Each structure stands twice: as structure tokens, then as C-alpha cells.
Amino acid sequence: MKKEAIVLKYSSTRGNAEQLDSAKAIIRGLAADGGLFVPDAMPQVDMAFIEGLKALSYEERAEKVLGLFLTDYTAEELAGCVTRAYANGRFDTEKRAPVKAVGEKSVLELWHGPTSAFKDMALQLLPQLMSTALKKTGEKDEVLILVATSGDTGKAALEGFRDVPQIRIMVFYPQGGVSRIQQLQMLTQEGSNVNVTAVTGNFDDAQSGVKRIFGDKDFNEALAAKGIRLSSANSINWGRLVPQIVYYFSAYADLLSAGTIEPGEAIDFTVPTGNFGDILAGFYAKCMGLPVHKLICASNANNVLTDFLRTGVYDRQRDFFKTISPSMDILISSNLERLLYHMTEDKEKVASWMQQLQQQGRYDVGSELLAKIQETFWADWTSDEDTEACIAEVYRKHHYVADPHTAVAWSVAEKYQQATGDAHHMVVVSTASPYKFNGSVLDALGVKTQGVDEFTLLDELQQRNEDPIPEGLASLRKKAVRHDGVCAPATMEKAVMLFASADSVQK
Ligand SMILES: *Cc1c(COP(=O)(O)O)cnc(C)c1O
């Protein structure tokens, strides 16, 4: 049976009536009313579609799933995008996102890309989608991506956007506020369209500076006069979320191939969560027809989502903790807004909750919606101490080295199974290579790390881990530092204008 080609449009979660093709939504990033772009319908698949993925490469699986959402891109355009994103030699495994059996559970490893963290799954593809969007919409302006980073996102964005036509990227990081490895990863970044600048302040200073620049009308007009428009690479952009839906399908297809599950069998995913992007992609997959039973949201001590998913009250007014799973140290999970929209389809309500969040720091979705959310989601959190204990135990029992983010998820998956007795097959989503957080991992394994340099730690971990040290980390030893810019929080505008005026970008 041949289905009519469906054309999806995207509009704001907050009610602005404007409807855009996906290409325009991806260039724009954020809707004009501050809301997030969402598709106006949910594509549906059946088991034949899912079983058809078994024989395909990751790139081909991505083409199929993306094609359901990015209906204004041609098949050729999507094929080009996914090839440049995933088959560019920067992933260290044929499978891109392999599923490994670890004890009774499966682990979905999302960190085989160039920066050894899961952000690569989306940030290798977003630049390709954006650059193709610029071409197909006839946009003449150049896009300047501004990023404030506390470590991981900056490097992944730099790797994704480097040398992409019609786009340049500038990353601000807090001087002294990122790990030695993270700093080296950024300062040695190659590419003709990249800039990395240290800010003499903390992450909030860098972040506020970037927000100030995005909101400065005069500044944006001055850039527009140069043919440049600003955009962002964070996970509010639809082009960053949609690539993440693919690996849920890919994991299911691989579990079918391995005979771990039967066609149609529902499975659970536990996801280490910060901005709610990764787990939301799992929710999209479920809504499309992937047999997902529960999505389990795992947090660290910054457990604002655990509280929300248990009580229906989102309250950001709380202490902020620095943990050993820093990529989840977050108090505002932006992508939750998309979930609230899909669960209610009530844009007025979503807009009012987001306004309450901004003005009062909290909102309450009420018991009816909470019950509906809890049909799909379950949540818990893990302390640093328990995360370390989990790393040690998983290593002792299974000889598998988990990074701290993955261990948070593993530990919450066990809490879930104990609390509910649920016996569906469990997939723990693994978001970082243990090498990227070698200090915390070795601490957990009882190895002395104090005063030991990063490269010695990599070697130490190598002796306990089957996987080799990722090339991107190993090669840092011999790479030249290419960026030395420093600015004060108050002079970030000047730094941006200087980079925007530089003429080194490939057209
Ligand atoms: C970003 C990140 C997360 C959180 O993902 P969200 O999509 O923000 O929920 C978890 N683990 C690692 C290693 C990350 O880099």
C-alpha cells in the first residue's frame, strides 16, 4: 500500500501561528515568540518499517527516520547530510551507535564520534542540515554560531561545524572553568571557520554574554549589514533533536538482529538526562510506534526532573551542585517544553507555564497531566557516592567501564527494576566514553589520581578497559595550540565583531 507523501510543518510550542518547513525552522533555531519548533503531526511507522532497518547501515537508518520528519529535504540531500556526518571517518566504529550486552541489560553507546561524547550524534549532523537548509532556501547570508560552553558542547559543536560552507562558529568558555583535557580539545581545534575564546569569568558570565549578544538589536543589525546572522547550536534547535530519534530505532533493530528481543516486544530505556533532549528523542520514537514501554529519566544531585516527574511541579529555585557527571548539572531542562506541548497540544497552557517559570521560577502541571506523563516516564536520581560505587560494581561484575553519566543511568535503571519489578528488556543509554572522565572513573576504581597528569591517567585507564584510547583524546598530546583569544565578559561583543569581520571563511 502506497501512502501519500506527508508534508510536515513546524510551529512554536507557544502559539505563534507561523508555520515553517523544517529547513527554515533549523536555520531559525528558536521561534519568534521564544517557543521551540515542533512538528504539526507525528509520523507513524509499523513493524515492517522497523524490521526493514535491520539490514541497513546507520547512515541508511538515519535517512529513513529523518525522511519522515524533514519532508522538505530531498532523499539525495538527506543522503549527503548523513554521509558527511557519520561516514566521514570521524566515528571509530562501523555501527556508529553500537549496542552491547552487559549482564542482563544492554548498553547503547553513543560516544564513538570525534569528541567521545553523545553530543556528536547530533552535532555532526546539525551543521550539515543547516548548511543544506541555507542552500535550498536560497539564503545568501552567512550564519555565525555562538556557543557558551562548560566543556563538552563547545568541542562537539566545533568539530561539527568546522569547514562547513556558509557557517562560522565561535565558542566562549570560562577561563579556568573547564578540565585540562576539555581545554586542550578546544584550543587545538582545526578548521578555517572556527574561533575559541576564553572569558575571564565563570560559565554563567559566558552564557549571559552570549544571551546578551543574541538579544542586542543594534548589534544584530550591524552584523546583518555585513551579511551575517547569528544562530545557536544548542538542543532547542530541531536540527539537533531530530538526529537523536534515529539511534532509538537503530538500537531496537540491532536488538532484533541479535535475537535479544522478538519483533513487537516492548523495551525500556534509561537515559542520563540534563536538558531533556536525549530522552525526548526516545519519546518521539515511542509516539511514532517504536515498542517502548518506559522511559526512565536518570538525574544526579541536580534532581529537578526527578521531582517534576514525581510531583508535577517544576521548581528551579534550588541549590546547584557540581557533580562528577557535569554534563547533567542543569536546573532548566529546555526540551521539557516540547514534551508538555505534545502531551497537551495546548499552546496557551505551555506559554503560561514557561512564563511562570521565568517570573516565579516554578510551575505546576496538575495531577491529570502528571498521571498521563507517568504512563510513559519514571524518574530517580543518584548521588556522586552511589555513582562511584556503581562504576566499581559494574566493572567488578561485568568488566565493563562506565563513565559517570552512564553509571548514573545504570544505577537508576536498577532502582527502577527493584521498585517496580518490571521485567522488560532494559537498555541503558551511555553518553560518554569513560576516557573523557578518566579522573572520576579511576577514583571510583580505587586508583590514585591526585597530582597525576591527564595523559598518564588515560594510560592507566587503558590498562583496565578493552576499548583503546579514542584517537581524538590520544592525539591531543601532539597537537598544536591554535587559539589563544581571551576577553572579559563585558567585551565579548567586540570579540564577536572582530571574528565576524575576519575574512578567512570558505564560501
Ligand atoms: C549533554 C549530556 C547529557 C544530557 O543530555 P540531555 O540531552 O541534555 O538530556 C548526558 N550525558 C552527557 C555525557 C552529555 O554530554
Ligand 1 center from residue 271 Cα (angstroms): 9
How many angstroms from the chain centroid is the CA of residue 254? 22
Q: Are 327 and 12 in contact (CB under 8 A)?
A: no
**Nine-digit cell string for 325:** 557527571
Atom of ligand 1 nearest to the CA of 273: 9
Ligand 1 center from residue 153 Cα (angstroms): 9
Q: Which of 147, 278, 403, 428 to mutate to test the pocket of ligand 1 (most atoms within 8 A of CB)?
A: 278
Q: Is the pLDDT of residue 499 over 60?
A: yes
- Model confidence over 25-84: pLDDT tens digits? 999 888 888 899 999 999 999 999 999 999 999 999 999 999 999 999 999 999 999 999
The catalytic residues are 119
HSE-up of residue 17 (Cα within 13 Å, Cβ side):
0
Atom of ligand 1 nearest to the CA of 111: 13
Nearest to 434 by CA among 398, 397, 389, 466: 466
Q: What CA–CA distance (Å, rounded) separates 156 from 150?
A: 12
Category of 361 on φ-ψ map: left (φ > 0), alpha (ψ -120 to 50) or beta: left
Nearest to 153 by CA among 126, 193, 134: 126
Q: Which of 181, 328, 377 to mutate to test the pocket of ligand 1 (most atoms within 8 A of CB)?
A: 328
Atom of ligand 1 nearest to the CA of 277: 7
Give the start-end residues of each E strand in 236-291: 267-272
Ligand 1 center from residue 119 Cα (angstroms): 7
Q: Pick the residue whose CA is nearest to atom 8 on ligand 1.
A: 275
Q: Which of 109, 271, 327 to mutate to test the pocket of ligand 1 (most atoms within 8 A of CB)?
A: 327
Question: First-to-last CA distance in the chain?
Answer: 44
**Nine-digit cell string for 427:** 537498555
- Model confidence over 360-418: pLDDT tens digits? 999 999 999 999 999 999 999 999 999 999 999 999 999 999 999 999 999 999 999 99
Q: What is the DSSP string of 300-313?
A: -S--HHHHHHHHSE
Binding pocket residue ranges, ligand 1, CB within 6 Å: 117-119, 152, 235, 272-278, 327-328, 405, 431-432
Give the start-end residues of each E strand in 149-276: 167-174, 194-199, 228-231, 267-272
Q: What CA–CA distance (Å, rounded) separates 388 from 381?
A: 14
Ligand 1 center from residue 149 Cα (angstroms): 13
Query: Amino acid letter at 388?
Result: E
Q: Are 35 and 14 in contact (CB under 8 A)?
A: yes
Q: Pick the residue whose CA is nearest to atom 2 on ligand 1.
A: 327
Q: Are 326 and 300 in contact (CB under 8 A)?
A: no
Burial of 141 (0-12, 13-18, 19+ CB in 10 A): middle
Length of the chain: 507
Looking at residue 34, what is its pLDDT? 86
Q: Is the pLDDT of residue 316 over 70?
A: yes
Looking at residue 5, what is its pLDDT? 64
Find the mean pLDDT for residues 308-333.
92
Look at strands 105-109 and 99-102 and give their pairing: antiparallel
How many angstroms from the chain centroid is the CA of residue 130? 16
- Model confidence over 439-490: pLDDT tens digits? 999 999 999 999 998 899 999 999 999 999 999 999 998 999 999 999 999 9
Ligand 1 center from residue 327 Cα (angstroms): 5
Helix axes 238-257, 58-69, angle to 10 degrees: 130
Q: Pick the residue whose CA is nearest to atom 1 on ligand 1.
A: 327
Percent of the chain exceeding pLDDT 70 equals: 98
Atom of ligand 1 nearest to the CA of 156: 15
Burial of 17 (0-12, 13-18, 19+ CB in 10 A): exposed
Looking at residue 236, what is its pLDDT? 86
Ligand 1 center from residue 79 Cα (angstroms): 27
Q: Which contiguous run of DSSP H or E holds residue 377?
A: strand 377-381
User: pLDDT-based confidence at 4, cuts 50/70/90?
Assistant: low
Q: What CA–CA distance (Å, rounded) separates 20 from 10?
A: 5
Domains, the chain, ranges and CATH? 99-114+240-434 (3.40.50.1100)
